[in-house]
Structure 1
């Protein structure tokens, strides 16, 4: 196909800009920052080479001198988000606490940049910031008596769990913004409907669960932490 490289390329192995000429007017970081701003404001569907070029004030074709493919732009964007982890906090000696801290940081990043959930694949997991993140996690897990490959599975499982939780949180928040009444009113109506269904005797096990725990709103932070602890414990429980 015209314009395609004859062999696979890795964006990180390419120079900042191809071709000769005067000093580049923009850096790769400028382009990625613009793409992230567009995605944060209007979602991934708004991210195009034309829109990003307009954001930084250059021609669309000029942008391809810096980033040859849209897929490369996506990879750069994901790695930029990975750069928001605060890795200055060294291992505490408690690997569970350290990984829970990482999970909370990931949750914050995904809420700031929800488009990452849509883009994230293992193919984008080895940019410079992602590698620093993985090295940090492995350092936190250094005293855990598991093979290296299993530790990598642990990190991937934590990330996958966080993405699932955040995707649900984002969907609920978007739904709530579209309601013509308050979220509290919505939940009250749904709770009343649920209790009527449980009172009919068709769902005795569900009724027993809700009789024990009630239908009060859950503490999202506590549920998140408890879920991640169970995920972490699963790697050391026979």
Structure 2
């Protein structure tokens, strides 16, 4: 059964129609808007107000168009989301492999983290993605090329890329939530939490947990933490020492 959106239009994504080369414009009055401008407006709206703010009506208002006119460029919100994801994925820099596959892989996923932090809605959007656009495919091609010297077969390479991308999305979601919580609760809450974890009620009943959560670490900056965890993920997924 064909799903329909709130507008009554067929929901879902047609990958062939979505990513096909743009048709040559017909003679006559040029179109008032473009799919690129609509996508850019949707990305800007999500960056400013969150993914929940992105509706066809809100995007149309942002570019000064009627809501129904948007459907001649983008058939539904699911397709718009695909365009948004692929648009921001184009920010990946994909240099020629250096020969050090681990360093190249780390560079790629550090960039992915930076993109997700610039677009905090992206981690939540990825599970709903139905297809791969050209920018996403370019990043995947780069990752598989970089991974080739690691000796993985093609399927394992795809799995490593998927698992590392999932790790980055999860980590960024956690980072942003922790930053928001810190902004809300302030230093006093952090100090109270530390005192609680070091109290006899916790250290006597849960000594291993208390030690792990209160042990000082020389490298606790967000970048250092991500770097350390990413290395562990790469080593574990690729069998690297």
TM interval, short-chain normalised:
0.7 to 0.9
CA distance in 1 between partners of 2:70 and 2:212 (Å): 57
CA distance in 2 between partners of 1:68 and 1:17 (Å): 19
Shift of 1:22: 2.3
Q: Pick from 34, 43, 51: which aligns with 1:36?
A: 43
* Unaligned ranges ≥5, structure 1: none
Cα 1:61–1:197 shift into 2, 3 Å: farther
Shift of 1:200: 4.9
Task: Report the count of equivalent residues.
Answer: 232
Q: Pick from 60, 72, 77: which aligns with 1:70?
A: 77
Cα RMSD after superposing both structures: 2.7
Shift of 1:191: 0.4
Structure 2 partner of 1:103: 109
Q: Pick from 210, 214, 228: which aligns with 2:230?
A: 228
Higher mean C-alpha deviation, range 142-151 or range 190-199: 190-199
Q: Pick from 145, 148, 173: which aligns with 1:139?
A: 145
Shift of 1:131: 0.7
Deviations 1:108-151 (A, max 9, x none): 11111111111103744510100111111112112121100101
CA distance in 2 between partners of 1:20 and 1:8 (Å): 28
1:80 touches 1:129 (CA, 8 Å); kept in 2? yes
TM-score by length of 2: 0.86
Structure 2 partner of 1:9: 14
Q: Pick from 166, 170, 175: which aligns with 1:164?
A: 170
CA distance in 1 between partners of 2:135 and 2:220 (Å): 34
Cα 1:122–1:131 shift into 2, 3 Å: farther
1:53-64 maps to which residues of 2 (within 5 A)?
A: 53-64=60-71
Q: Pick from 95, 111, 118: which aligns with 1:112?
A: 118
Shift of 1:215: 7.6
2:143 touches 2:161 (CA, 8 Å); kept in 1? yes
Cα 1:191–1:68 shift into 2, 3 Å: same
Cα 1:234–1:42 shift into 2, 3 Å: same
Higher mean C-alpha deviation, range 62-71 or range 227-236: 227-236
* Unaligned ranges ≥5, structure 2: none
Higher mean C-alpha deviation, range 38-47 or range 199-208: 199-208
Shift of 1:46: 0.8
Shift of 1:43: 0.6
Shift of 1:190: 0.8
